[in-house]
A and B are shown apart, each in its own frame.
Chain A
Amino acid sequence: MGGEEDDDDEDEEDALVGVVISRMPPPSSIKKEFLKKWLVGLKALSNSRSSSTSKKEMSVLERKKAIKLSADVAMASLKNGTTSWSRALIQNASKDGNNRTLLKSMLGSEYDKKLRIGSTTTSIMCSKGIRNTTVLRRSCGLRRARKISKDQRVRAGLMAKRLVKKRTQVLRSLVPGGEYMDEYSLFEETLDYIMSLRAQVDVMRRLANASAFSSKS
């Protein structure tokens, strides 16, 4: 009996701990940093727009994209290139030529360095064919797994593996730069990415609420 009761308590505790950790707001220091960088980027955006000769008013969508981009880059830059997803994110952003100014202003002189570092790593990985191998492995694994097995357990196990693989693929597509990571680092990156996404959402929401509030008042 005691053992079972302990299990109950542990379950409850674990649940509580999980809830606490998941409900814990991201640290405010990160949020402040993010906000600062983000505002810098936005300022740069608005300045560039106002100073541009086109004087074309940005549509809502354009604005939204700019806001989102600046937010993402700000969040990624906070990481200082330590995490692979942040690097990948910045790289993706820099691929679009329109964003150069924004990125430069936000990231400063380190921008080019980071870009080169990031690009080299990804190029190395590409050259090594890591991505290809993972893709190949996935496809081969799927094919292998489809052998007809009469044992239901084995079938279920294979099915489970297939599901896991499918979902891992989806996760790769979600996390920036996930295509190039192995499973283990994918999880780590996902962890980090989730944390920063939460901080980002938090700040953005507050800002949106604040601006809505101030506009109402």
Chain B
Amino acid sequence: MDLGDKDKVEHEKSSEDPSNFHHSGISSNWHFESANLANTSTGLVPTGNSMSVCKEDLVGSSSCSSASMVESFCPSLWEQPTNPNTLGFCDINVQTTASTSGALGFRKGLPGSFRAGIEKNLDHGWNPQGIMMKGGMFLPTAAAMLPQSLSQFPADAAFIERAARFSCFDSGNFSDMMNPINMPDSISLYTKGARMMPGPQAILGGNKFRSVAEEDQPQRNEQETVGGSKTVSMSIDHVATEGNPQKNESPRRSHDEAKLGVGGSGNESDEAEFSGGGAEEEASILVCAGRQPSPNKGIGLKKRKRGGQDTELDHTKGVPEQPGEPAKHSSEIQPKVDQSPCSTANKPNGKNGKQGSQTSENPKEDYIHVRARRGQATNSHSLAERVRREKISERMKFLQDLVPGCSKVTGKAVMLDEIINYVQSLQRQVEFLSMKLATVNPRLDFNIEGLLAKDILQSRAGPSSTLGFTPDMATPYTGMLQPPQSGLIQPGLSGLGNSSDALQRTINSQLTALGGGFKEPNPQLPNMWDDELNNVVQMSLGAGALISSQELSGSLPLGHMKVEL
């Protein structure tokens, strides 16, 4: 792969590079693109102290021999720790990487263009480094990581590209995203590889990366010539931000979704495809790696810059065509993305805004008329399914609003998980509160308490969010200790034939007497009671039976209580 690609690249670029690159020395680097490490090494070369020699060697060399020289340098480069010197080459690398990594945005090679050649080469592992070059400091360590990681995985260009993109983002989120759900082996592979990548970045964090990227932007602004690539990147960003910071199993789905969504309008051209492909790549990766718009911004901008670079390089011919497609797709992507943020199953969402189905618009009719969107199957089954899916996604949106903590999470599986957890927690709360009430009120008399409670209920206008569950955990424990005693008192007192009011008063007095004694040990105990509420209560009840006679006198054997509990 290396040699063949190299040749290709050489042929295509040999004449064009010097004019377009700021550093002629770097232009010769194109020859070595195919070597995964080569590009980064060459990128580093201009600025690295020890690499100055390399640079000279590279300048003016257009043969494979120099490639081999560079390659020979590569290992040494990789072994080097992060060179502060390498940071200095931000400018240089920005441009080189911009041009070369422009390929990052375009996964499916451009037809017959120079970029296509580069991209194909870049696909095989160069990309991650391209991205990392931006961060500067990332490079050596990240690059060092790459060879190992790359060797582990099947030479899946798409995967590597994605993994590279993963590495660009804040690694903090990454494990969260990649981890929790049961994953098939394939996905776990991805997570492994991807996790490896962000390792070095963890040091610097996504923020730094972003800041660096943003620093680079002004430089690139001058170079921005293609609005199309801009829209592509924007569309990428949109797709990424809208669609779905999902967990790992859904990168595929968002992948597909974005792809279909973007390309759904018809596979008009290769550019369309690749922008769609790029978008999908971006979507999947950006989605998985970062739920942060800013990294997307940075990268989107980078992509734009790289796109600019690429056009700068030579491709005025190819370029004008491309913006048209991406622009169209971006506009298509946006409405689609806007309208279906949460459902990952909504594949055919190509042109939601324009030709949306009329399901909700015909309330009077018995049938739901659905118009097939352009580029989608008109099979009745698929139409019906699409309608069904859209309805479900609508419901999911509502649920998203209802279930706390779901606003950012999208994707059916994750949403369902959250919903299930929420429902379970609510049901548990009900159980718990009913237990608490049972212990507080031995005779199920809520009359007086009800009257008082109403006042108290209304006076307590505080936001009693259902999430504030844990603060209540402490109170029931205090309640738990008291009622067993009062519960035992009750039968005794009721036997006296007191009125309910009197009973309540006595109960309250008993409770207060008990409560006063119990207040001190309580704070220490709550932790123990988490799962053993019933057991404890029963224990205390059983133990309390022995003490009931004593309690009637009003004195509390505190010692007893403590021992029992």
Binding site for B on A (CB under 8 A): 1, 3-4, 7-8, 11, 14-15, 17-19, 21-23, 25, 35, 39, 42-43, 45-46, 49-50, 57-61, 63-68, 71-72, 152-153, 155-157, 159-161, 163-164, 167-168, 170-171, 174-175, 183-184, 187-188, 190-191, 193-195, 197-198, 200-217
Contacts and interface: CB of A to CB of B under 8 A. Distances in A.
Prevailing SS type, chain A contact patch: helix
Nearest to B488: A57
A63 B429 CA distance: 16
Interface stretch (B85-93, B128-136, B371-379, B460-468): B460-468
B416 A167 contact: yes
* Interface pairs A-B: 4 shortest CB-CB: A18-B407, A156-B252, A210-B453, A63-B438
Contacts of B491: 57
Interface in B479-506: 479, 482-484, 487, 490-491
A197 B294 CA distance: 38
A39 B457 CA distance: 14
Given A168-B416, A171-B420, A201-B466, A160 B436 contact: no
Contact of B453 (A50, A207, A216): A207
Given A35-B457, A164-B413, 5 more contacts: A7-B237, A159-B184, A163-B181, A184-B395, A201-B430
A25 B464 contact: yes
Contacts of A4: 234, 237, 241, 293, 296-297, 300
A39 B441 CA distance: 13
B253 A156 contact: yes
B427 A197 contact: yes
A199 to B, nearest CB: 9
15 contacts: A4-B293, A43-B446, A57-B487, A60-B537, A66-B444, A155-B184, A159-B249, A184-B391, A191-B402, A198-B466, A207-B450, A210-B460, A212-B478, A215-B449, A216-B478
B541 interface: yes
Nearest to A75: B430
B416 to A, nearest CB: 4
Given A3-B238, A160-B252, A191-B399, A216 B420 contact: no
Given A18-B406, A157-B253, A201-B426, A207 B437 contact: yes
Contact of A210 (B396, B457, B483): B457
A215 B512 contact: yes
B215 interface: no
A47 B110 CA distance: 82
Contact of B464 (A11, A35, A191, A205): A205
Q: Is the interface of B mostly helix, strand, loop or mixed?
A: helix
Given A157-B253, A167-B420, A171-B419, A49 B440 contact: no
Contact of A213 (B251, B345, B456): B456
A190 to B, nearest CB: 6
Nearest to A56: B491
Contacts of A204: 429-430, 433-434, 437
Nearest to A8: B293
Contacts of B402: 21-22, 191, 194-195
Interface in B232-279: 234, 237-238, 241-242, 249-253, 255-256
Contacts of A167: 413, 416-417, 420
B434 to A, nearest CB: 4
B407 A211 contact: no
A152 B252 contact: yes
B365 interface: no
Interface residues of B, number: 106
Interface string B340-380: 00001100000000000000000000000000000000000
Contacts of B449: 207, 210-211, 214-215
B208 interface: no
A58 B93 CA distance: 79
A142 B484 CA distance: 50
Contacts of B241: 4, 7-8, 11
A67 B483 CA distance: 16
B293 A49 contact: no
B433 A156 contact: no
Contacts of B478: 212, 216
A167 B249 CA distance: 14
Contacts of A202: 464, 466
B549 interface: no
A61 B535 CA distance: 10
Contacts of A25: 463-465
Q: Indicate the member of B256, B422, B450, B452 with the most A CB atoms within 10 Å.
A: B450
B145 interface: no
A216 B444 contact: no
Contact of A67 (B251, B416, B434, B512): B434
Given A194-B426, A205-B464, A23 B437 contact: no
Contacts of A68: 430-431, 434
A202 B457 CA distance: 10
A17 B397 CA distance: 12
Contacts of B476: 208, 212
Given A159-B184, A211-B437, A206 B249 contact: no
A41 to B, nearest CB: 10
A15 B241 CA distance: 13
Contacts of B438: 60-61, 63-64, 66-67
B420 A174 contact: yes
B557 interface: no
A206 B466 CA distance: 11
B41 to A, nearest CB: 31
B400 interface: yes
A205 B472 contact: yes
B424 interface: yes
